[in-house]
Amino acid sequence: MSLTPAQLHTVQTLRQRAPLVHNLTSATVANFTANALLALGASPAMVESPDEIPGFVALADALSVNLGSLTPVRIAAIELAVQAARHSGTPWVLDPVGAGGIAGRTRFAQAMAQRGPAAIRGNASEILGMMGDGGGGRGVDSGALSEAALDAAGRLARQSGAIVAVTGAVDYVTDGVQVDAIPLGHPMMTRVTGMGCAASAIVAACLAVQPDRMQAVVHALTLTGLAGARAAAVSAGPGSLAVAYLDALAAL
């Protein structure tokens, strides 16, 4: 598969503008997320100091909020960042890691979904869990196919005003009315820590350069899925896939 002219334009614009993407994410995936953004042409930052967050979010072109490794300090940082993003008009992405698995985490994800995210990206269990539909996930792993969360994704999009993406073997993107399916990627991607988190950051990067939010999310997941499929074709296993994935993003 090749990129469409519109998708290619998004990649070219990313590389011309190098949008600054502020990431509040788990330490487990910060390095991989930063490298994925750099490979695609964006500029990552991981500012977490409460004194710096409000001013930095205002400078950034987009914000990616990942709920992995939640602590009281991280929760406070996320709330500061989201408030600053809403004040400055910075588009932001919610990655509701583990929603549906733990009650407190689920409530926090649900509250953040009502704070004006431009997009929400999660696996099927996370999206089902956010809508109280019993996601059945275990940690970051989904216990449901992405198709099972389509109805929940549509309701979440309508309630939050966000574009909602359910990622899995097939990725689905909806604004609550229309749905786009992206049948890309590779099963081996589930064996590399941070693939979904990096995808959320890439969604943020695309939102920074593509004013049509639906198209921005579709383009982002097309890029990640295509890079994953190309990387898997030349990889012997998850270790080489992680490196090949970064190379594939850079080669798009």
Helix (H, G, I), strand (E, B) or coil at 116: coil
Nearest-angstrom CA–CA distance, 8 and 4: 6
Nearest-angstrom CA–CA distance, 61 and 173: 22
Nearest-angstrom CA–CA distance, 82 and 91: 10
Nearest-angstrom CA–CA distance, 171 and 168: 5
pLDDT truncated to tens, each residue of the chain (252 aa)?
789 999 999 999 999 999 999 999 999 999 999 999 999 999 999 999 999 999 999 999 999 999 998 999 999 999 999 999 999 999 999 999 999 888 999 999 999 999 999 999 999 999 999 998 765 544 444 456 788 999 999 999 999 999 999 999 999 999 999 999 999 999 999 999 999 999 999 999 999 999 999 999 999 999 999 999 999 999 999 999 999 999 999 999
**Predicted TM-score (pTM) of this structure:** 0.94
Q: Does domain 5-251 fall into CATH 3.40.50.510?
A: no
- What are the structural domain ranges in the chain? 5-251
The label of the residue with tokens 């990649």 reads: 11
| Phi, psi at 49, each rounded to 5° | -70, 130
